[in-house]
Structure formats: structure tokens, C-alpha cells
Amino acid sequence: MRNSEVGRLNRSLYIKSKTNYSCEVCNEHYPEEVLEFHHRNPATKQFGLKASKWRSNKLNQEVLDEAEKCAILCSNCHRLEHVALKNGETLIDDQEAYTRYRNHRFPRQEHMDDWDNEFGFWIQEELFESKG
């Protein structure tokens, strides 16, 4: 078995053992290629878990320890998590935040429940006003 095949198998078995191929935010099942590692606390990150880290016939305990610091997210939720982090929030273990970002893609604001336009979503009109 080639190193790349060993790496894929090691990563796949780890993800299966932790989440059974599901995202920890949206709880949907995905092919393993769609799932990504996200460090819950960036301050504890020693290294990224790129594919080459898993390529060993004897999987290094250091790789497993690093993986334990991570949430396993689908690529969509991983991107949304980084948007939420920029706003001082996290989607991991916060279903309300996940729903808000998934449906609205911006932080909670008082006007978010004002769905009174023909488009079915709130528009920041001042962004679209012509300057002239």
C-alpha cells in the first residue's frame, strides 16, 4: 500500500471513529473528502492536519493528539465557522448561532426579523443607494 493510500485510510478511520462521517455542526453525513479539521482553540494549534500528516504505517501519537484538539466540520460549516469567529462567535455546540449564520450569514441584529420586503430578506438599503 502506498503512503498516500495509507494516509487516506488513517484519516478516514479517525473521522469514522469520531463522527461516523458527519459534521459536528450541521450533523449531516458527507463523504470523507468533504470533512475538514478545525482547531477549536487556535492558541493550542501545533500544526495543521494536512493529508501528509496521516501518511505513515505507524500513525504518530502527535498527529492523534493534534486531531483531538479539532472539530470535524463539512467544508460549508468550516467556512461559516470562520465567518462567525470574525464576529466573535462560534457555531460549534451553538445550534442557534449555526441556524442564524446558515440562514442569514450575518450576526444577530434587531432588524433580522423584519421580513417586510418582496425579496423575503432584509436589505441594507444604504448600501445600494446611488451616490450622486
> pLDDT digits over 77-120, tens only?
999 999 999 989 999 999 999 998 888 755 555 554 544 445 44
Flag whether pLDDT at 129 surpasses 90. no
Angle at Cα 95 formed by Cα 91 and Cα 97, nearest 5°? 50
Is residue 46 packed enough to be buried (19+ CB in 10 Å), middle (13-18) or exposed (0-12)? exposed
Q: Helices (DSSP H) in 26-88: which residue ranges?
A: 61-68, 75-86
Predicted structure pTM score: 0.74
The helix or strand, by DSSP H or E, that contains position 74, with its residue range, turns out to be strand 70-74
